[in-house]
Structure 1
Amino acid sequence: MKRKQQGITLTSFLAILVVVGFALFVGMKLLPMYQEFYAVKAAMKGVAQEPGSGNMDPARAQDLFFRRLDMSYSDSVKPRDVKFERIASGWKMKVSYEVRKPMMGNLDVVGHFQAEQELTRSGGN
């Protein structure tokens, strides 16, 4: 009576290991980009919660935004990436920026991020 073998071969195990390793490698490149994006959103939300943020001069709001962003060591967002648009209840702050990180060789990982936050006269959402 023959027994049937079960399990994976060494070659299959190595192939799975390579795929998982590559996925972890790419994830390590993407994670900081997304952490920075969530820091940008948190900084925008913090500015929106400032009392009277809708009446603020856009330059003052931008200064507050970058002060909050500096605490999270974010350096991808530049002043040219921040725009303000007048709305009925105050201002709409828009941030649009791109992050490019080298992956391997001549391949880069590129992320384009956009976020919007209303700055209302009352300072809340």
Structure 2
Amino acid sequence: MKRTQRGITLIGFVITLAVVGVFVYMGMKTIPMYSEFYAVKQALNDLATDPGVTDKDPAKIKDLFFRRLYISYADNIKNEHVKVVRKEAGYLMTVEYEVRKPLIANLDVVGKFKAEKELRRGGVD
């Protein structure tokens, strides 16, 4: 009776571990970028429900937006990334930015993010 071996070899296990390790490392670099983008979207939604936001000037709206981001430790969004444009029923607020994180040697992970929210009178979309 011949018995055959089953299972993974040590070399196969090391290669599998290396591949999984690379994906985990990439996740560690990209998850904070998406977490920050979620904070931006949440700040925009909170601002849209703020009563009387359309009665304020664009500079004050930006200030309120950055106060909400300060709580979430969102450091990659700067003043030049935020645009507030007057619309017929209020404002259109656009946040567009890019995040670049080093990955391995000269390779970078780049994330481009864009979020828009219409700020209307009465705070309802």
Q: SS at 2:31's partner residue?
A: helix
Q: Which residue of 2 aligns with 1:77?
A: 77
Q: Distance in 2 between matches of 1:115 and 1:58?
A: 17
Q: Distance in 2 between matches of 1:3 and 1:20?
A: 31
- Is it true that 1:97 corresponds to 2:113 in the alignment? no
Q: Distance in 2 between matches of 1:42 and 1:9?
A: 48
User: 1:14-53 alignment to 2 at 5 Å?
Assistant: 14-53=14-53
Normalization by structure 1: what TM-score? 0.95
Q: Measure how far apart 1:89 and its partner are.
A: 1.7
* Equivalent residue letter for 1:36: E
* Equivalent residue letter for 1:95: V
Q: Measure how far apart 1:53 and its partner are.
A: 1.9
Which structure 1 residue ranges, 5 or more long, are not aligned? none
Q: What CA deviation, in whole Å up to 9, does each residue of 1:59-105 have, x standing for no partner?
A: 11100000000011111001110012222221110000011111122
Q: Distance in 1 between matches of 2:83 and 2:15?
A: 47
Which structure 2 residue ranges, 5 or more long, are not aligned? none
Q: Distance in 1 between matches of 2:44 and 2:71?
A: 13
> How many residues are matched?
125
8 Å contact 1:94–1:117 — kept in the other structure?
yes
Q: SS at 1:74's partner residue?
A: coil
Q: Measure how far apart 1:55 and its partner are.
A: 2.7
Q: Which residue of 1 aligns with 2:106?
A: 106
Q: Which residue of 2 aligns with 1:122?
A: 122
Identical-residue share of aligned pairs (%): 54
Q: Distance in 2 between matches of 1:30 and 1:39?
A: 15
